[in-house]
Chains A and B, each alone.
Chain A
Amino acid sequence: MLRRLAILVLSLFIASLVLFVLLRLLPGDPANALLSVGADPQQIEAAREQVGSNLPLSEQFLRFLGNLLRFDLGTSFISGAPVGAEIAARLAVTLPLTFLAFALALIIAVPLGIVSAVKADRWYGALISTVSQFGIAIPVFWVGILLVLVFAINIRLFPSGGFPSRGWHAPLEALRALALPVLTIAIVMSASLLRYVRASTLDVLGSDYLRTARALGAGFTEAFVRHGIRNGAVPVISILGIELASAFLGAVVVERVFTLPGLGSMLLLGIQQRDYPNVQGVLFVSTLLVLLVGFAADLTQRLIDPRLRDKARVAS
């Protein structure tokens, strides 16, 4: 437990270090973003002072770290707005998108995955697993484009992009705007999730304890529900963290397909405009979320599987 927490803290430290180093590797002084062409040395020095790029690297890093600890992500070079507030506003689009897609993917993948394993010898079991093979070969943005083609152009059921300017104050419009993006991510995610559920179910089906339960007189459904699901859930939960992270990343790309004002578009704009505080902030918050999710997944796993609680080190 403590060890896991220590790893989390250490991970965050290293992540911020990596971010810092990579962004300092960028060619050119970050102060250049503040300057116009033909600035005189005095202006350059002033800009460097303002950005802090005139300090030694170690001092820059300590300042960066100190600001992070106070949740101060700095201000945008371009707009001058606080980065933290901008990220918070954009998370209001990206987080619902991520979690709705994740939930929908689970709703699709868990039952289908179990069916495809239990009924592996039937045509529909085989069909489900074959179709899910395509899921790991399809780029998420292409699924988005295809859905736009079908649902926004041919059927005209949902908008092909955009988000209501009033945001969540117009809840129905907002949900309608998120419908296709959510479906896009959920389709791709459920395919890879389904493969894990299926593999895990197959393991359970071949297990001794399930056979013993059947031999003791339990019907298949009873044995599977009482013993199979809890055991089978453990490996699936361990990858949920990764899946949630990839849903988040999918959201970053899919936001572009549907022109949603989320974290992804903020990152892209930041990269284009060389707005380092924005880029840094988005990447840091993304990494923080991904690491926290991994931590939560580990804890859940321990709650479900008592065997893991006692082991100091999971033999992964």
Chain B
Amino acid sequence: MSALDETPPVAPAATRKSRWSLTLTIGLILVGIHVAVALLTLFWTPYDPSATAGGRLEPPSLSHWVGTDRLGRDFFTLIMIGSRIALVVGIGAVAIGAAIGVTIGLLSAFATRFLDDALAATLDILIAFPVLLLAMLVVAASDGASLWSAILALGIAMSAIVARLTRILAKRVLQNDYIIASRTSGTSWPGVVVRHVLPNIWPTLTVNFALQFGIAVIAEASLSYLGLGAPPPNASWGRLLQEAQGTVYTAPIGAIAPGIALVTLVIGVNMLADGLRDIGDPTRRVSR
């Protein structure tokens, strides 16, 4: 499993001098911008997102930074709202996936051999279901695409991956002698989970959550792109890209800008998690 744990190398000199890395700084800035924009859209947007603000398919100008879409709506406003949607999707899906996944993973790690085998096999099967297919199925089943059905589907699909990872990590921790020592000195199993298992597996889980956040945002954008996402005005970047693809000959900027917004958010979250892990994980501070 070492291949999965492998992380982008951080320059050794930099980590030794200070734990504050360039990765963390860039990650913080990118995520910070998206969070700030998302919060801002709750109170104010440059233009009304559902009203025409100019001519159709205007090129970028001072009043419309990335032009207007085919209905004359300000594209920058729509992209700003997309930030909010993406954050809600990512956080929502990860919260659901983490709650279900960590619980099942821990239960499986503590369960009897038979139950553990059964759970592990079930998880392997669930993981074989591609996330996007599952999400499509649930969205189709929930009669009319809504943001919440997509978030729920992505969260459930994610929980299998989180559960499997939690199970493996927790089992590794439970093999240690200090668990026996802790048990013999009277700590209950819940106590062991809170005091030994969770703190040990949390850094790896966090990085995985960040990865899953990105996957969820991309998957939701894909759903929207396929026309199975939330309807406007709560449109995600995926729908913006789908609409802009039709006018890519005349207004290519619309097919580029939402993609850039999405990539910066996903990369930002991944970098933030990598940076935080390097701070939070004591084994990474000194070595390397």
**What residues of chain A have their CB less than 8 Å away from a CB belonging to chain B?**
7, 10-11, 14-15, 18-19, 22-23, 25-28, 120, 129, 133-134, 136-142, 145-146, 148-149, 153, 195-196, 198-200, 202-203, 235-236, 239, 245-246, 248-249, 252-253, 256-257, 267-268, 271-272, 279, 283, 286-287, 290-291, 294, 316
Contacts and interface: CB of A to CB of B under 8 A. Distances in A.
A314 B222 CA distance: 35
8 closest pairs, A vs B, by CB?
A199-B6, A137-B266, A142-B259, A235-B3, A271-B140, A11-B125, A137-B267, A199-B3
B143 interface: yes
A139 B6 contact: no
A136 B140 contact: no
B281 interface: no
A7 B238 CA distance: 37
B168 A316 contact: yes
A7 B6 CA distance: 29
Interface string B1-16: 1110010110000000
Contacts, number: 137
B114 to A, nearest CB: 14
Given A146-B259, A148-B248, A316-B168, A249 B132 contact: yes
Nearest to B274: A133
Nearest to B117: A313
Contacts of A239: 3
B93 interface: no
Contacts of A10: 121, 125
Contact of B262 (A139, A199, A245, A246): A139
Contacts of A28: 143
B124 interface: yes
B133 interface: yes
B225 A27 contact: no
B136 interface: yes
Contact of A139 (B2, B125, B225, B270): B225
Contacts of A267: 136
